[in-house]
Structure 1
């Protein structure tokens, strides 16, 4: 919104300055003077400054539409970048939580020779092979969650 107001102010300012009248006169010594206000007692010539022709209303509308579309594209790009940053931060937070859980789980499994696992059907005492498999799976989880994520190229 402030961007639009700035453009409007600049356009009005340029329009008003283009309407200024310039006066030319010679003083008693024969020197030529130029001013925006005429003297009271001299022969004054009015000079209209040369201005470039103003663009048509259609050209102005087209120019303003282009400016607005550029502004909208920029805002959309900024919003997309913010969303991406927010998503990456959330993924990083979840990776850290999963890393901590996996490390805690591995420490618990390795510190106890006999592990009892709680399932929805009940509890079960793990065999040494199942314990080794659980350790292997947990180490894979640690590798997955505790190492930096792989960068994807666009």
Structure 2
């Protein structure tokens, strides 16, 4: 509630502030100041703020066209490229393997595995979940 009152008060007071004069003056120590009220003991120069010049129609049109050209260029770079027949066959094979791996991991939670030395061990649940997630990612990449 207080914030609303504060913001409303600022909006009511804003128009006089925007149209107010700005005074530039230098103090005894050589520091330049810009204030809304002139100092009592020093001479001050009135400064008119520079406004923002709206672009002319030709300039605005040129700017819009350059933005549009950049947009079209970016869009063309993100469009998917056609997949060759060889790559499509590889993706289908990878899709098939990923689905088989996911099915095996889902069906056998206590599955025995062999390490590189030929030793048999039980796959920990955390590792099983991680491999299932990897299989899902491979399916998403290769099966669509």
TM-score, normalised with respect to structure 2: 0.39
The higher radius of gyration belongs to: 1
TM-score, normalised with respect to structure 1: 0.37
